[in-house]
Amino acid sequence: MNHFPAWKNILLIVVFLLGSVYALPNLYGEDPAVQVSPLRNAVINDILLADIKEKLNGGNVELASSELSEKQLLLRFSDTGNQLKAADIIRDALAKNYVVALNLAPATPEWLRALNAFPMYLGLDLRGGVHFLLDVDMAAAEKQSISRQALDIRQYLRENKLRYLSVLVSDETIRIKFRNLDVQSQALEKLSRQFRTWEFSTELENTITPTLIANMSAKELAAVKKYALQQNIITLKNRVNELGVAEPVIQQQGDRRIVVELPGVQDTARAKEILGATATLEYHLVDVEHSLSAAISGRVPLGSKLYNKRDGGQVLLKKQVIVTGNEIIDASSGIENDTGSAMVSVSLDGPGGKKMSKTTRNNTGKPMAVVFIENRSDIKRVNGELVRHKTIVEEVINVATIRGHFSNRFQTTGLDNSAEARDLALLLRAGALAAPIDIVEERTVGPSLGQDNITKGFQSVLIGFVLVLIFMAIYYKTFGLFADIALATNLILIIAILSLLQATLTLPGIAGIVLTVGMAVDANVLIFERIKEELKNGNSAQASIQAGYEKAFSTIADANITTLIAAIILFGFGTGPIKGFAITLSIGILTSMFTAIIGTRALVNLTYGNRQINTLKI
């Protein structure tokens, strides 16, 4: 009477086999690898691979294997010594168009990779690395957008010969004053047609000077914020590429936050410098007509300004800006062919190129300086209020002589070394950000702690698991063994599902697995206790089994659904590590119901199903 239909047994076997296959990649270790990914319009192809292979051969570095995909080239090595040597060789060979990063690539065999089976994705607390949460200053983004709009309105009014008294920005509105009502109504009509995302209205109280009030529409405001976030994400992606990180994560979180995760990065100071500051640039001419020493002693000529140089000393620059960072399209470092010294190539956009052309035509032979303007901001608590404290640091990062007339492409040469060139290029590129960003959260885990966490997590899963196995086997005898087999299968299934979903496994996630192991047997305990009760009531063994499973089911379902509710809420509110806990707990609840109810039942049926029995070992 206790017999499963064939399909149920087959289903169990299929699930078990699939689970085993997808859990399998976790048993293989990792290979030291070098990952090459293209920047901008660089390509990854066989020619590049052949080139790298040749260079590695020349450097006596043994390549274990290589994988070529559209997005990246992965080169595996037998040990870290070879890996590091190879990374140096490849970096020198490829220079600026590729990101060359050290990585640990999963040593999953080919046939498993073909099945899309990969090991679990380890969180930063297990593999080591940095996690940043960045907050985009939306008020600043809004302000920038409003002042830009005010400029456009002014220009439009001028071009259309609509004479105005003033265009002023106050808070979130733009106030445009006119000499008479006639111009005002004309302007209202034209402006409303031209600037559709803005809402224009006449100010009624002010009858002396006719005034128009312009407000950004709610839709436009949302768009501005979205744009600020998107632009920051793109800029951050570019900057992170500079850091040479193998698998960086840059994601939006909520409507104003950005998460940046950099696995394996240890030099957090550099990462923070690059991520945290918002920077702009300005090219200025050096004021050579006036004396620098006079300026230092206090007599700064009109139209000029004294600046500090980054490497010490001061320089007098003309106040007029040639081009700003917004007009820079690209900047990259390299080696100058004839002199062999480090240099930076810069490309400007159309308007920037025109301005540069105009300046350089008349100023050949004169020095030009790059001013780097950094907005550092931090948040302090003053009398319980959070106050953003801003400092603007202006520094001259480079002074170079204009050697000839150029427009939108030029080189800055005479840099000390390639590291300096790289930094200058990076700073130039970091040029424009839509809105300032602050690091509001940082979590760094060193490699030794990551490894410790893995070891300790693994140990506690193992010991907890073995303890439960022994306890169940002693207490429930044969049935305890069934529960043990179910529990082991459950563990395999959890690992398989985590691997398949590529959900991030964190230390609290491992704790979730441990907890699931303890709680998963609950379903079996409920069933076995029911069977015992039925036996006590004098029912036959077969009937007791049947009744035990049946009666325990609704209890198991109710109990697990309520736990699942708690886990889902945890997932909804939690951040990184907590989410990991919620995920493993939820998966564990679902798989445990499957293995504990259907899995053990199949084992019970196979053992006792088709024969007359008088006693059960329970």
Partner 1 sequence: MNDPYTIKVDFLSKRHIALVLSSLLLIISITSLATQGLKKGIDFTGGTLVEMSFPKPADLGELRGLLLEANFHGATVQHFGSSKEVLIRLLPDTALNTAALSNRVLGLVNTSFSQTGELRRAEFVGPQVGEELSEDGGLALIYALICILIYVTFRFEYRFAIGSVAALGHDVIITLGVFSVFQFEFDLTVLAAILAVIGYSLNDTIVVFDRVRENFRKLRKGTPIEVVNISLNQTLSRTIMTSVTTLLVLLALFFLGGEIIHDFAMALIIGVLVGTYSSIYIASPITLALGISKADLMVVKVDQSELDKIP
Please list every residue from 439 through 468 that binds partner 1, using CB under 8 A: 439-446, 448-449, 452-453, 456-457, 459-460, 463-465, 467-468
Q: End-to-end CA distance of the chain, in Å?
A: 19
**Is residue 313 close enough to count as binding partner 1 by CB under 8 A?**
no
Q: How many residues bind partner 1 (CB under 8 A)?
A: 80
Q: How far is the CB of 365 from partner 1 (least distance, A)?
A: 41
104 closest CA partner among 85, 128, 125, 88: 128
54 closest CA partner among 105, 93, 82, 96: 93
Q: How far is the CB of 135 from partner 1 (least distance, A)?
A: 8
Helix (H, G, I), strand (E, B) or coil at 531: helix
**Is residue 562 close enough to count as binding partner 1 by CB under 8 A?**
yes
Map the footprint of partner 1 across residues 282-301, applying CB under 8 A: none
Q: Which is nearer to partner 1, 502 or 537 (CB)?
A: 537
**Is residue 585 close enough to count as binding partner 1 by CB under 8 A?**
yes
Torsion over CA of 131, 392, 145 and 147, rounded to 10 degrees?
Answer: 170
Q: Which of 129, 431, 436, 508 binds partner 1 (CB under 8 A)?
A: 508
What is the spatial distance between Cα 174 and Cα 185, in angstroms, rounded to a whole number? Answer: 16
333 closest CA partner among 238, 398, 432, 426: 426
Helix (H, G, I), strand (E, B) or coil at 172: coil
Q: Which is nearer to partner 1, 336 or 395 (CB)?
A: 395
Q: Which of 229, 281, 427, 472 binds partner 1 (CB under 8 A)?
A: 472
Q: Which of 41, 298, 538, 615 binds partner 1 (CB under 8 A)?
A: 538
Map the footprint of partner 1 across residues 377-416, applying CB under 8 A: 378-381, 386
Pairing of strands 164-170, 121-122: unpaired
Q: Which is nearer to partner 1, 111 or 573 (CB)?
A: 573
Q: Kindly report the three-state secondary structure assignment for every residue of 390-440.
A: EEEEEEEEEEEECCCCCCCEEEEEEECCHHHHHHHHHHHHCCCCCCCEEEE
Map the footprint of partner 1 across residues 263-282, applying CB under 8 A: 266, 268-269, 272, 276
Residues 224/141, Cβ–Cβ less than 8 Å: yes
**Is residue 547 close enough to count as binding partner 1 by CB under 8 A?**
no
Q: Select the span of 30-38, 200-208, 400-408, 531-539 touching partner 1 (CB under 8 A).
A: 531-539
Q: Kindly report the three-state secondary structure assignment for every residue of 321-338.
A: EEEEHHHEEEEEEEECCC
Query: How would you classify residue 121: left for phi > 0, otherwise alpha for psi between -120 and 50, otherwise beta?
Result: beta
**Is residue 259 close enough to count as binding partner 1 by CB under 8 A?**
no
Q: How far is the CB of 424 from partner 1 (least distance, A)?
A: 22
Tokens of 7: 């399909």
Helix (H, G, I), strand (E, B) or coil at 176: strand
Q: Which of 412, 560, 584, 592 binds partner 1 (CB under 8 A)?
A: 560
Map the footprint of partner 1 across residues 48-87, applying CB under 8 A: none
Q: Select the span of 89-97, 104-112, 192-200, 513-521 touching partner 1 (CB under 8 A).
A: 513-521
**Is residue 501 close enough to count as binding partner 1 by CB under 8 A?**
no
Q: Select the span of 107-115, 179-187, 207-215, 505-513 touching partner 1 (CB under 8 A).
A: 505-513
- Residue 510: exposure state from Cβ atoms within 10 A (0-12, 13-18, ≥19): buried
What is the spatial distance between Cα 53 and Cα 257, in angstroms, rounded to a whole number? Answer: 42
β-bridge partners, 38: 98
Map the footprint of partner 1 across residues 88-147, applying CB under 8 A: 125, 132-133, 135
H/E stretch holding 581: helix 576-593
Q: Which of 563, 590, 606, 609 binds partner 1 (CB under 8 A)?
A: 563
Q: How far is the CB of 266 from partner 1 (least distance, A)?
A: 7
**Is residue 238 close enough to count as binding partner 1 by CB under 8 A?**
no
Map the footprint of partner 1 across residues 324-363, applying CB under 8 A: none
Q: How far is the CB of 591 from partner 1 (least distance, A)?
A: 16
H/E stretch holding 19: helix 6-23
**Is residue 577 close enough to count as binding partner 1 by CB under 8 A?**
yes
